Amino acid sequence: MRDYLEDREIPVWFLLDMSPSMLFEGASVSKHAVLAEFTLLMCRLMLGRGNRAGAMIFSGQVDRTIPASGGRRQLLHILGAVSGHRPGRGATDLKAVLAQAAGVIRRRSLVFVVSDFISPPGWEDKLTLLAQRHDVVAVRLTDLLDTRMPDLGFLTFQDAESGEQLFVDAGDRGFRERFAQAADAREAALRGAFEKAGVDVVELGTEDEVLDALVRFAAMRKRSLA
Amino acid sequence: MKSLFGIPWSRISGLIPSISFSWPIMLWLLLLVPLIAAIYVLLLRRRRKGAFRYPNLALVREASQGPGWRRHVPPALMLAAFALLLLAMARPSAEVALPSRVATVILAMDVSGSMRATDVNPSRIMAAETAAKAYIKDQPRDVRIGIVAFAATALLVQAPTTDHPALNSAIDRFELQRGTAVGSGILVSLSTLFPQENFPINQFNSDSAGRWGNYDFRERFGGTALGERPKAPPAKHVPVEPGSYKNAVVILLTDGQTNAGYDPVEAARMASEYGVRVYTVGFGTAKGNIVGFGGWSMRAQLDEAALKKIADMTRAKYFHATSAEDLKAVYDVLSRQLVVETREMEITAFFAALAALLMLAAAGLSLTWFHRIL
């Protein structure tokens, strides 16, 4: 039997992925901007209802932890941390971050994991563990360029986090098709992992309105209550 | 090196035109080519500053298959174009075979009785006349054409001229006679081309002065005919390379076998010593056929072997025509390729044009593949 935030005042935690991959400006704005907007709206909403809120900002590893607290000052605190954050180097290690979160968040909480979930594999089990103790919502930030590669011609790709470079002929139809297949496979794997962990998923695209996503989220929550 | 991929080297070297350079010192510039290639490789290895920062490189790596060889194609084409331009700076020139126009063409036409035969529509002589007229018409205005008609004897019926109507009327005046003297036809043609030389024409031409039948008084007693100037003792002609005379050619058409006059092979030898090409056209069928007309009946057998020999000796070609259309085609070919001259020509422009083409190809491929000009 689960309790839901709508009924009780439980702490809210934001696990905010601020790794370099989030800075990628693809089809429209960066995922980082979307993350900031989402955090602002959701944090204000929760604090306004009297909930306590905390945040963990991570890139390669956890960069900053803001203990849960209430009040208007906490909102400014968290948002200030988000806007003033300088991303560290290295690939996002979601596994370590989720494990650390499980240690930090003591009380049963509502946990938003806001990330693009681009991370070396192994984090899925940690997410399952976290979801067993907390009410976890995966806020998945997506971009059109994540799944479809336009005909960009010949291009040097550089990994946003590792800096590794790769020469690719994006003008090659075969390449774009293989890319789409690989992206679809990744989508399916992610959905499977979320389902297995039993977490709710909010897909938030860079081209979407964050408010719309919140409304969708609220509707989903209502359905699961009923 | 004896062979390359199993092909004898002698054959390969024949395919490569001999290229020489006016400024060979410029060839040192070709050393820039490997230098540029090396710089290109270095640039490839260097990390790109303007790389596309992408969140999930693993996906891209999964989708990309091996090295994209296509990206190297336009630069390679550009490099080749550059090398060609450097070669062009050395001003290459090559021996190229160019068809050159002949100044004079002698049409030696058989007017023997067998030309009356109607195995060719309407008759051999009519077809030959038509073809000759068409050939004359095709010639540029500045080509002089002479006509020699031969039967048992040979006669210059029209001295070389550019006057086409005169030529046509000369052809219209053809009258068929008995006998075929190919050798005499060649000799008369030669003497037309080299008036100052002394060819043994009179020896067999019955209409010449001082002869009666086969008996040549002058040969026996000396002396000159009335109005004939004493000729200088024949200077020994120094033989030249066969086929080297570029100013004139002889086109000889016959339908029969030599049965009179000078020995054709001997005449051909003379022609070859003067470097004159004698193109021979055999008209009619090689099988001997009986030609009947006006109560006469005669064999008209085409002597292909002799005609081929004449053509070979004078570095010309032999053609065989069995119909009016054939004949027309033969004359068409002849009017195009009579004399081929090898000339040293600077082919710098050719190199430059090739380089330009390569550059265009490089830019085109780059545009279609990568949406940019290099």
Q: In this complex, is the C-beta atom of A172 within 8 Å of any C-beta atom belonging to chain B?
A: yes
pLDDT in tens, B248-293: 888 888 887 777 777 888 888 888 888 888 888 888 765 545 555 5
Q: Is there a domain that residue A86 lies in?
A: yes
Query: Is residue A169 in some structural domain?
Result: no
Residue in the structure block whose two tokens are 């990309």: B64
Look at residue A6 in the predicted model and tell me its pLDDT.
54
What the block records as the tokens of B304 is 């292909």
Residue A110: pLDDT over 60: yes
Q: Looking at the partner chain, which of B47, B57, B369 has a beta carbon nearest the beta carbon of A157?
A: B57
Residues of A in contact with B365 (CB under 8 A): none
Tens digits of per-residue pLDDT, B122-145?
788 888 888 888 888 888 777 888
The residue of B44, B46, B64 whose CB has the most chain A CBs within 10 angstroms, and thus the best one to mutate to test that interface, is B64
CATH number at residue A34: 3.40.50.410
The predicted pLDDT at position B1 comes to 47
Does this model's pTM top 0.80? My answer is no
For chain B, domain boundaries: 3-96+345-370, 100-322
A219: in domain: yes
- Disruptive mutation site among B44, B45, B54, B370 for chain A (greatest number of A CBs within 10 Å): B54
Separation in Å, CA of B70 to nearest CA in chain A: 8
- Band of pLDDT at residue B2, cut at 50, 70 and 90: low
Residue B57 and residue A151: Cβ atoms within 8 Å? Answer: no
Residue indicated by tokens 């090559």: B94
Cβ–Cβ of A162/B57 closer than 8 Å? yes
The secondary structure element, H or E, covering residue B128 is helix B124-138
pLDDT tens-digit series, residues A137-186: 999 988 888 888 888 777 788 888 777 888 787 777 888 888 899 899 99
Q: Do A153 and B369 touch (CB under 8 A)?
A: yes
Q: Has residue A60 been placed in a domain? A: yes
CA B234 to each of CA A122, B194, B198, B237, B350: distance values in angstroms, whole numbers, following the listed order: 111, 13, 6, 8, 49
Residues from B contacting A (CB-CB < 8 Å) are 47-48, 50-57, 59-65, 67-68, 70-71, 369-372
N-terminal to C-terminal alpha carbon distance within chain A = 14
- pLDDT tens column, B318-342: 888 877 788 888 777 777 655 556 6
Residue A168 lies in a domain: no
Q: What is the pLDDT of residues B340-361, one digit of tens each?
A: 566 778 889 989 999 999 999 9
Q: Pull the structure tokens for residue A135.
A: 């009410």
A89 contacts A23 by C-beta, under 8 angstroms: no
A25 touches chain B (CB under 8 A): no
Query: Is A34 part of a structural domain of the chain?
Result: yes
How many domains is chain A built from?
Answer: 1
Q: Count other C-beta atoms under 10 Å from residue B52's C-beta.
A: 18
Contacts of A178 in chain B (CB under 8 A): 62-65
pLDDT in tens, B151-172: 888 888 888 888 889 888 888 8
d(CA A134, CA B226): 140
Query: Hey, what CATH class is B100-322 in?
Result: alpha beta
Both tokens assigned to B205 = 């031409």
DSSP code of B113? G
Nearest CA in chain A to B57: A159
CA-nearest residue to B367 within chain A is A153
Residue of B nearest to A157 (CA): B52
* Residue A176 covered by a domain: no
Nearest to B54 among A153, A157, A182 (CB): A157
Q: How far is B40 from chain A (nearest CA, A)?
A: 15
Residues of chain B found within 8 Å of residue A183, distances taken between Cβ atoms: 59
Inter-helix orientation angle A173-197/A123-133, to 10°: 30
